[in-house]
Structure 1
């Protein structure tokens, strides 16, 4: 009973943080039809400032720490990025009227990482005075890239298998196309299944991994984070970090949370188009992903003395869903997926759940279990 009382006390305290207050405030004013708008250029600048600050602090910490301490948490981040995609593939994809390719894209977005949620989690940890490894923010790409790559590969395999399924022996013998546009006009049509599959191996079945990784690395969010990491490791940015980036961090984050609250409300209409299963998934998936990552973080805690704040941050990263770099990557990599499904599920439900429930939940749990 003492544990439960301690946990709920800490959980309630987290819900009163200004970070969550601005998020809820954005939802409320948007629901009442407010015409308040934050220009997109300002929004992108704020995201850049927050992520480069996280990158700088992580780079400084990496330069001054033992890199072997990062190995197990980084490995667990990679495992989580891949695992989340397969969880969505075999849960959401099995629901009525949910297209498998849409479910895979949604799982990929939930496996990728939200830079704003990461920044929010770090802010709450610092506000509560909870210690965490500054390099923990650098776990971002270890989960983000594997999730996006896995989603695109799994979707490609599914699409290829689905295409092959519709080619029966009779269809080949009659030389009739299976669907409009399935085979280019003017090109000799295959007469046997073996011939068709041979021709397809070099096209539809081929998945290029490096372009996916490259696109993720070149995305605005990951670029800012990696730039900050590089500057923190290779230079001595402590003076500008402490005098400029650190003081602005929480104020900029409050504006970002306000924007995300308004965005979440605006996306609810998109989510209605694709059914209730996405809403159910988007509510429960962040919590499930966070709990799994929290368990892995506890293993790292006992093996390498990973801090309570670090465990909570790993869970927060896993609970988040990408809001910047993920959507364009998935649009390019899985063009047949419906953006209203995965973007609507993420921004309308997933991100608010990760921030409003996930952050206080995992921080409170870490404090209760490890006394952070």
Structure 2
């Protein structure tokens, strides 16, 4: 998959590994991320304005329930096979249960290159899937803290600063901009979106390329996390996305999704958060080592999805949905 936006990411990785002085200023990085989040939300909102909201409740419930299975599968694998402590296992599972907006963006661009359409309502699932896994990760960590017995576990859950955590998750930059763009696009509709489309639609891929250049630099800086975590986490960061994608394809088939929608759902399930999840875990599970979760999600799973995963998920959708 030699799309220019992927090659931009590779350029960033090579620059980082070679200790180049290349650096994207923090203000520009923030501006690029704000643009991408708003652009995705706006496009989804415009598409959403064409659909009755009531029809989405059934599919949203299915997508959310299947998505929550991912951290519930990941946690015992990390805990018992990988022999990670319960704090690290819960934090890593939360990262893999949540989603990556940038991976979703690359998958959208790949579908465009392949001439495969998709529905803008997929952004609804993008927003829905980012939050619950983070809360589930906190619950898993706290249950691991608690002594045996229902009373101890209940007391551990009460000690979580749920208000602060909810503020971080629901009013964090990614959710706020995605949801805000979604509402604006829904209210504006096609006619209101048309005047700003040259900025938020036509320039999207170029901005994504610059953002991925920075992501390559960051991914290269996280490679050292695997010197202490061993081969297991490396294998987990590759195998877990494939398992999650299979869950996504099965869910899409159950719901009668199109090939494009199925490929995007598989990509969402296969992606791992490295923006919202680290912030939430830092607050709720400070005992966890962030180098492990961020190193796995950003250092391994993100580039794996870009170069190998997304073409596989598209093949799975074509084979099991269209075929």
TM, length-normalised to structure 2: 0.91
Gaps of 5+ in 1: 1-14, 166-196
Q: Paired residue for 2:177, among 210, 224, 245?
A: 224
Cα displacement (A) at 1:152: 0.4
In the other structure, the counterpart of 2:293 is 342
Give the match for residue 219 of structure 2: 264
Structure 1 residues 322-331 or 27-36, which shifts more?
Answer: 27-36
Deviation of 1:97 (Å): 4.2
* SS of structure 1 residue aligned to 2:28: helix
* Cα pair 1:267 1:347 within 8 Å, conserved: yes
Residues 52-108 of structure 1, C-alpha deviation per residue, up to 9 Å, x if partnerless?
Answer: 111011111111113344334322331233211111111111135421220111010
Distance 1:241 1:358 in 2: 32
Partner of 1:102: 88
Out of 27, 50, 64, the residue aligned to residue 13 of structure 2 is 27
Distance 2:255 2:54 in 1: 12
Q: Corresponding residue for 2:305?
A: 354
Instruction: Looking at secondary structure, tell me which structure has more helix per residue.
Output: 2
Q: 1:320 Cα shift? A: 0.9
Cα deviation, 1:108-146, whole Å, max 9, x if unaligned, reads 011111111111111111222211011112211221111
Match of 2:33 among 47, 54, 63: 47
**Separation in 2, partners of 1:292, 1:37:** 38
Deviation digits for residues 290-315 of structure 1 (CA, Å, limit 9, x no counterpart)? 111111111112xxxx2211111011
Unaligned regions of 5+ residues in structure 2, if any? none
Alignment partner, residue 57 of structure 1? 43
Deviations 1:23-67, CA, capped at 9 Å, x for gaps: 222222322332211112211211111111110111111111133
Q: Which residue of 1 aligns with 2:196?
A: 241
Kindly report which structure 2 residues correspond to 1:1-372, keeping only aligned pairs within 5 A, or say none.
15-161=1-147, 204-206=156-158, 207=160, 209=162, 211-236=164-189, 237-301=192-256, 306-371=257-322
The 1-side partners of 2:81 and 2:258 are apart by 38
Contact 2:253 2:321 in 1 (8 A): no
Q: Please state whether the residue corresponding to 2:208 is helix, strand or coil.
A: helix
CA distance in 1: counterparts of 2:56 and 2:313, whole angstroms: 20
Q: CA, structure 1 residues 371+22, in 2 after alignment: closer, same or farther (shift >3 Å)?
A: farther
Greater CA drift, 343-352 or 62-71:
62-71
- Normalised TM-score (structure 1): 0.80
SS of alignment partner, residue 204 of structure 1: helix
**Contact 1:271 1:348 (8 Å CA) reproduced:** no
Q: Secondary structure at the match of 1:130?
A: coil
Q: Does the 8 Å contact 2:262/2:321 carry over to 1? A: no
Is contact 1:156-1:205 (8 Å) kept?
yes
Once superposed, what is the RMSD of the aligned Cα atoms? 2.2
Q: Specify the SS of the correspondent of 1:33.
A: coil
Give the number of aligned pairs.
320
Larger radius of gyration: 1
